[in-house]
Amino acid sequence: MLPILYFGTEDQKQHFLPKLCSGEWKASYCLTEPSSGSDALSAKTRADLTEDGKHYLLSGQKMWITNAGFADLMIVFAQVGGTQFTGLLVEAKSPGITLGAEEKKMGIKGSSTRQVFFDKVAVPVDNVLGEIGKGHLIAFNALNIGRFKLGNMAMGGAKKAASISIQYANERIQFKQPISSFGAIQFKLAQQAIEVFTLESAVYRVSNLLLQQKEQLIEQGESLEHALLKAAEEYAIECAAIKVAGSEYLDYVVDEAVQIHGGYGFSEEYTPAMAYRDQRINRIYEGTNEINRMLMINMLLKRATTGAIDMVGPAWEVQKELTKMPGMQKPEGKFGYEDKSLADYKKLALMVLGAAVKMQMDGQLNLKEEQEILMNGADLLVDIYMAESLLLRLKKLESTGKYRLPEVYDAILSVSFHDLNARMAKTATDALCSFASGDLLKTFLLGVKRFTAYPPTNIKEKRRIIAAHLIEENEYTL
Q: Which residues have a catalytic role annotated?
A: 286
- Using left for φ > 0, alpha for ψ between -120 and 50, and beta otherwise, residue 64 falls in left
DSSP 372-431: HHHHHHHHHHHHHHHHHHHHHHHHHHHHTT----HHHHHHHHHHHHHHHHHHHHHHHHHH
> Nearest to residue 126, comparing CAs of 27, 229, 19, 10?
10
DSSP single-letter state for residue 123: E
Q: How far is CA 222 from the centre of its chain?
A: 27
Strands (E) located in 264-382: none
Find the angle CA(15)-CA(19)-CA(22) to the nearest 5 degrees: 145
Cα 425 from Cα 418, distance rounded (Å)? 11
> Nearest to residue 189, comparing CAs of 178, 176, 175, 200?
178
Run of H or E including 141: helix 135-171
Cα 19 from Cα 92, distance rounded (Å)? 14
Tell me the three state secondary structure of residue 455: coil
Find the angle CA(235)-CA(240)-CA(242) to the nearest 5 degrees: 95
Cα 433 from Cα 447, distance rounded (Å)? 13
Cα 438 from Cα 450, distance rounded (Å)? 19
- Longest CA–CA separation in the chain, Å: 81
Roughly how many angstroms between the first and final C-alpha of the chain, as a whole number?
A: 34
Contact 119, 255 (CB under 8 A): no
